[in-house]
Amino acid sequence: MSDRITIDHGSGGRASLELLQTVFLAGFDNDILNATEDSALITINKERLAFTTDSYVVDPIFFPGGNIGDLAVNGTINDLAMRGATPLYLSVGMILEEGLAIDDLKTIVATMRKAADNAGVKIVAGDTKVVPVGKADKIFINTTGIGVVAKGVEIGGSMGQPGDKIIISGTMADHGITILCQREGLAISGEFTSDSAPLNKMVEALLAKHPDKIHVLRDPTRGGVATTLKELAISSAVGINIKETDLPIRADVQGACDLLGVDPLYLANEGKLLAFVAPEIAEQTLALLRQQPHGENAAIIGEVVADHPGEVVLETVIGSRRRIDMLHGQPLPRIC
């Protein structure tokens, strides 16, 4: 490992995992953190709570489909929902660069409020720091969330079982391609929109129907679907097979990815979930998802197998099979 922090350490791929393991898990080392779920599961006087934090440094701070503010609210709500929790309260910590236009800040705050209202959560705690010009980039936002986990709900990255069907709740790579195109100043950039959205109501609908047959939920943000599936194959000690022809990708997104030389499997999503569900409820779950807001393009993309534990195998369009690894050697800075 390098002796300095590199952009790669923040991309959500293999270098991020290495940093997590060698520095953070090694240093903080406790069972709750070591579970490395989207949310920590904590128990206070018998109440099971989910607790999660994320900092947002996206560049640009305004983009089609949202801004850093609703991205930060939705992202933390989703991390709570991926544990099967009902999100309740958020804190907001802002680091502002001297010179930021207060009107921009007001716009961001208004968007955060709207996103919170939309998801039924309250922003109850906050903090603001200011640093001199050139010591930050406009605005960084940390959101930390608390949710409550209902009795009987046991969803986690280690719960995947051979036979499970793998569902994605909609098209892939929309957030990642939107940010990349904006940043590259591409003429096509106007065509794309971030998928930033809260998924808690979608998860509620799933759990209301099949509380015990939804095994894994995870939102494929930094590192994309590929990295998330690889992590889940490892944490559940199972194999994963996906089919390229089943992956829902908008044709124009695929075209832009080809142009930029990036693989949509590795691009961030900010309003999509992956679900591993018992095979007998797969079709029903798919139908249910397609009725939900943000779920109309849901698709079954693969299955969990007992073979090749820890590995993700993609069956390509031409029928060949290749192993999918975590994001590696293609750093995508400040995507969220």
Tell me the sheet residues that pair with 41.
50
Enter the tokens of residue 133.
């010009």
Choosing from 14, 62, 64, 105, the residue that interacts with a copy of itself (CB under 8 A) is 105
319 forms part of the interface with a copy of itself (CB under 8 A): no
How many angstroms separate the CA atoms of 326 and 98, rounded? 37
Choose the stretch contacting a copy of itself; rule: CB under 8 A; options: 19-27, 190-198, 286-294, 298-306.
19-27
Q: Shortest approach of a copy of itself to residue 16 CB, angstroms?
A: 7
Which residues in 81-100 contact a copy of itself (CB under 8 A)?
A: 88-89, 91-100
What's the rounded Cα separation, in Å, for the pair 149 and 211?
12
Q: Choose which of 21, 23, 323, 330 interacts with a copy of itself (CB under 8 A).
A: 23
Under the binding rule (CB under 8 A), the answer on residue 150 touching a copy of itself is no
- For a copy of itself, which is the closer residue by CB, 42 or 259? 42
Which residues is 177 bridged to in the sheet? Answer: none
Q: Which residue in 254, 256, 224, 229 sits closest to 311, CA to CA?
A: 229
Q: Is 334 in the site for a copy of itself (CB under 8 A)?
A: yes
In DSSP terms, 94 is beta-bridged to 128, 141
Instruction: Report the residue from 14, 40, 234, 281 that binds a copy of itself according to the rule CB under 8 A.
Output: 40
**Site track for a copy of itself across 213-242, x = CB under 8 A:** ------------------------------
For position 261 contacting a copy of itself by CB under 8 A, the verdict is no
> If binding is defined by CB under 8 A, does position 187 make contact with a copy of itself?
no
What x-and-dash track marks residues 48-87 binding a copy of itself by CB under 8 A? -x-xxxxxxx-x----------------------------
- Answer positive or negative: Cα dihedral of 172, 267, 70, 66: negative
Residue closer to a copy of itself (CB basis): 88 or 305: 88
Residues 6+ apart with CB under 8 A from 218: 38, 82, 157, 228, 231, 232, 273, 274
CB of 133 to a copy of itself, least distance (A): 9
Query: Please, which residues have CB within 8 angstroms of residue 13's CB and are 6 or more apart in sequence?
Result: 222, 223, 227, 266, 326, 327, 328, 330
Structure tokens at 120: 């039924």
